[in-house]
Structures are given as structure tokens and as C-alpha cells.
Chain A
Amino acid sequence: MIELQELTRRYADKTAVDRLSLEVRDGETCVLIGPSGCGKTTTLRMINRLLEPTSGRVLIGGVDAATIDPVELRRGLGYAIQSVGLFPHLTVRDNIATVPRLLGWDDARIGERAEELLALVRLEPAAYLGKYPRQLSGGEAQRVGVARALAADPPVLLMDEPFGAVDPLTRERLQIEFARIQRELHKTVVFVTHDVDEAIRLADRIAVMRDGRLLQYDTPENVLDHPADKFVHDFMGADRALKRLVRVRVTDVLEPAPRIRPGEPVSSAEPPVTDGRMFVYVVDAEDRLAGWVDGREMAAGRSVEEATTRVDRAVAAVPGDATLKEALSAMLGLGFRHIAVIDAEGRLLGEVGFDAIDRVLASGDARRAGEGA
């Protein structure tokens, strides 16, 4: 657990961080967010003592960080930053090996760990271990940056806009991947960003800061639904309702999808097709999504084979760990009111519809309404 107590950092002309207190529980991701100059990076840098607090304390696992040698302290806290800061004269392998080397690991163990971490951040070890940073794309470099921060398996990760320097598409992919990694590893993470969507996607709790002060520290849902003041309200954006969709995974609101196999009549679909439903999914023998058939075409007497619209699974379906926001954007892209949800092998898990999104949005409205009463 990380505990900040009345943490303050003053400069000659301004107070960068003003009596900030908060607690990050083990295994939780705390996202510090706010406009530039709000003190979020200063706060982060006081945790690993790259900056010393003017007053106040940082407790890590109950121990006052000020009592630990800063060099030792930092070796126990993973650190990833925006411009990545990969060492240009070292290969990917040696970059990842930085902290393990400082800790005196033997070479075999370092090599094993580097491969393991590259696999974790989805970079092919054989292809990437020997590359130099300048041979990497922005997204690849960020992945290596995360792998390097994780190298010695620190219980705590400090991340300062680690996905800040890449295009929005790559950025979103990195966020999704990081959320996946965090679900596996349960690190205690303090994450600095100015990107509201990133905060909502990754945070267990969001700390909204302004002018060095903590305005609100709560779950993303509560920050969205019950902003502490007008600044928080405005900062989270006018599309707060839409942003809630990032908090819900499609598997959380999954509904059974009617499906048939080639050669079967539409009437045999499981679960049965209800009135008003226009189409049925078509799956192959392994239950993998192959396409869909339109009910009206079937009624016109054509066979399933003839009537099936074959689809590219990457476009016509979303994976199980996608968020409702991704599902919604896929639906809008296809012009449908439903989207198929598939697993990694392409098997049809179910579907998500507009009505599920409706319910999620309505629950936020209900909570806000309850607050008003």
C-alpha cells in the first residue's frame, strides 16, 4: 500500500503540491489526472524521491520512504515515463536488464526474464531482444518501456504518461494491453495522465488534481456521476455518459446469440430467434463465427449457404475483453444494433446490443438522479 500524507512541495514562487493525502491499496491502479501544472508529475516523483517533499510523508508498505536510501527505494519501484527514456546505446534486452543487473541477477536469469516480459507485452522475443531503441516504432518502444519497468517484478509501478508519445490508435491498444497485464499481475500502480479516457479505462480510482490540490479521489464511476465540483465536472467532459462505457466489458453484459450451422434451418437456431429479429449468426463446426443470414432471405426460400453474408471476424465482431465503448463504435461502424463477441480463437461467445448500452447509460442517470433527490 502507498500512502501519501499531507505531501507538499513548494518552490520559491509557487506550491506545486499542496497537502495532498491519499491511499493506494495493494493491487489497485490510482490515476493522477489534471491539467498540466496541476502537480501530478511532481507528486509521482516524490514517491520515488526523484524530488524530495517540502513537508509530508510517503509511506510504502507502511515504511516512510524518506528513511530508505533513494537508490535502493527506486530499484523496488518500477518506473516508466512518457518519452520512454530507453537507453539508445543498449539493445532491448539490455534495456530490460537494467534493474535486474543493478540487483545482481545472473545472466541466464536476466535472459529468461527479458524473453518472458517481451512475450507479456506482445513483442516476439526472438525478433526484438537484439534490436536497438531507434529501430523500434513509438508503440514498440513504449511496450519495451513497460517491460523494463516490470523487469525486477516490483510490487509498485510508477508511470508518468507512459503512453503519451504515440498516436491515439496505438495509445488505445497500449491501454487495453496494459489493462490486461494489470489484471494478470495486480501491481500497485500510480499512473499520471492528462487523458480522461485513459484514466477511466485504467483506474480503480482517479485522483483529480488542480493547482497542487486533490479535488476528488474516487472510482471512475463516482467521479463521472458525482463530480466533487464544477471543475471536476467540466474536466471529465460533456460526454461523461459515453465515457462510462469504457468501464464496462462486453463480457459483463453479454447476451446469448442465436446461431446456426450451415445446413441447418433458421428455425433450429439456438437460442430461438424471437419476433422482430432480423438475422442469425452462422458458425462453423468449431463454433467460430463465419457470418450471418438475414431472416427475410431465408423466408424467401434460399439455403443458409446461399444467404450467408461471410464476414471478416476482425471487423464484424469484438473480443471478449473489449469495452462497451469499442462495441458501440463497432456497431456504429457496421450500422447494426448488435455486435458479435468472440474469443481469441474466433468462437462466438454471444452478442451485445444497443439495449445493453442503454441500460448502462440509464444506470448512471439513475445514480445521478438518486444523488439529486
Chain B
Amino acid sequence: MNRCRPVALAAVLAAAAVFAWLVAQPAIWQRLLARFAPDGVTALYPTGTLADFVLAHLVLVGVSSGLTIAAGLPLGIFATRRSGRPFRPLIAAAVDLGQTFPPVAVLALALPALGFGFTPTVVALFLYGLFPVVSGTIAGIEEVPSAVLDAARGMGMAPRQVLMRVELPLAARVILAGIRTSVIINIGTATVGAAVGASGLGVPIIGGLVGSQNVAFVLEGAIPAAILAVLADLLLGQLEAAVSPATGG
């Protein structure tokens, strides 16, 4: 497994590079999607290039997932601390609610306060993606055997040392799995941002569905979004394997 890792990683990176190149080739997409476009209509959504949409999508996902991780990881850690344990049910319920609420509903609710465009979309995606990160962090840390924690404390590790040297390394794999789930959900969900005017791969999809009923537009957004999700899954899978603690088996 360890010996295969560089090869697998290289393969994933190569696939990502091929995709990046492909995104910048409108001629290929035009030819590919032309048969799905109604006669005499262009197959590619006219308001921007595919590269623009992919880039905007990545920014949307990057910012919202970044915020999700930046907030979710400390929140999950806090819920497992002695001082935060009383808040655990509250935190769990809150992030659960965040995921129960459909992002479209969050968008609708956010509109009056945040207006149209990028910001409300990021807020909706941030809330929606929080659950897997927080619950993964809590689960990963709580999975650390109590005897291991007892030994760590009993030998004189300070609480921060127990967290950094024992709990987080042992929980890393489960935490990363939560982040991976969150990011992948996010890549798909980010397309709804187009409904409130955020750019991204949702723009051709919504455009194809609502205005012109052009299947080619829908596919121009949907296919790259799907590929992005798969690539992110593979990449984060590699990362997960890399941070998994060696245990000699």
C-alpha cells in the first residue's frame, strides 16, 4: 500500500492535468455537445468560457470548504474537550440542522440579508458542509481508546500535548474522511449558487434548464462538475492515506 501511493498519486495528478487541459479546449466540447443542442443553436453557454465557469466553481468550493474546515475542525475538537462536552449535544444538533436544511432554502433565507451572488452561496455551502466535518472530528477523537488517553495523561502530557501528539494523529483518518465527504457534497451543491447569481458550473446548467431548454448547456455544466467531484475524491483519498498513522500493518 505504501509503495503504491506515489504511483496512485501521480495517476490522480495526471488525470487532473488532463482535465485542466480539456477545460481550456472549447472546440472539443463544442463538437462533443453539438448533437444535444437544438438545431442552429450553439452548444456552449454564451456568457462565459468553460474555463471561467470551472475556475469560479473552484473558488466557490474552495472558499466555502475552507471556511467549513476552519470552523468545523475546532468546533469538533471543542465538543470533545472537557470544557466543551456540555455543548456537544447542542453542537451536534446545530450542524445536523445545517445539513437538514436544503441549501436552496438557506439561499432563499440568506437573500434578504446578504443579497445576490457569491456571499449567500458561500454561507449556504458553508452551513451545509459543516456536518460531516464536525461529526468526523468528534467521531475520530472519541474513537481513541480510553486506555491510550489515560496513559498519555498519566505519563504527564499536558492537555494540548494529548491533543496534538495522541488524539489528532490517531483521529486524522476519520477527520479527513469527514472533510472528503464535505468537499464532495460541496462540489455538487455549489451548482445551485447559479440560482442566486453566483458564477460557477451551475450557470450553464440553470441556463440550459430554465431559459433555452438546451441539454448541451446542462451537460456543459454537469459533466465537468461530476469530473471535479471524482478528482477531488481521489485526491483527498490520497491525502487520507498519507495522514493515516503508520501502525505497522
Interface residues of A, Cβ cutoff 8 Å to B: 48, 50, 71-76, 79, 81-89, 91, 98-99, 102, 131-135, 148-149, 158
Contacts and interface: CB of A to CB of B under 8 A. Distances in A.
B158 A71 contact: yes
B249 interface: yes
B246 interface: yes
Which applies to chain B's interface (DSSP): helix, strand, loop or mixed? helix
Max count, chain B CB within 10 A of own CB: residue among A83, A84, A87 = A87
Contacts of A84: 147, 151
Given A50-B150, A132-B249, A87 B166 contact: yes
Nearest to A99: B155
B153 interface: yes
B152 interface: yes
B150 A71 contact: no
Contacts of A148: 155
A102 B155 contact: yes
A72 B156 CA distance: 6
Interface in B150-174: 150-158, 161, 166, 169-170
Contacts of B150: 50, 81, 85
Contact of A79 (B145, B155, B166, B246): B155
A83 B147 contact: yes
A79 B170 CA distance: 21
A45 to B, nearest CB: 8
B115 interface: no
Contacts of B151: 79, 81, 84-87
B248 A79 contact: no
Interface residues of B, number: 22
A88 B170 contact: yes
Nearest to B148: A85
B248 A134 contact: yes
B154 A48 contact: yes
B135 to A, nearest CB: 22
Contacts of B147: 81-85
Contacts of B157: 71, 98, 102
A257 to B, nearest CB: 47
A292 B116 CA distance: 100
A102 B161 contact: yes
Contact of B246 (A73, A99, A132, A149): A132
B245 interface: yes
B83 interface: no
B169 A89 contact: yes
Nearest to A101: B165
Contacts of A79: 151, 154-155
Contacts of B148: 85-88
B247 interface: yes
B155 A75 contact: yes
A83 B158 contact: no
A88 B156 contact: no
Given A81-B147, A85-B150, A132 B161 contact: no
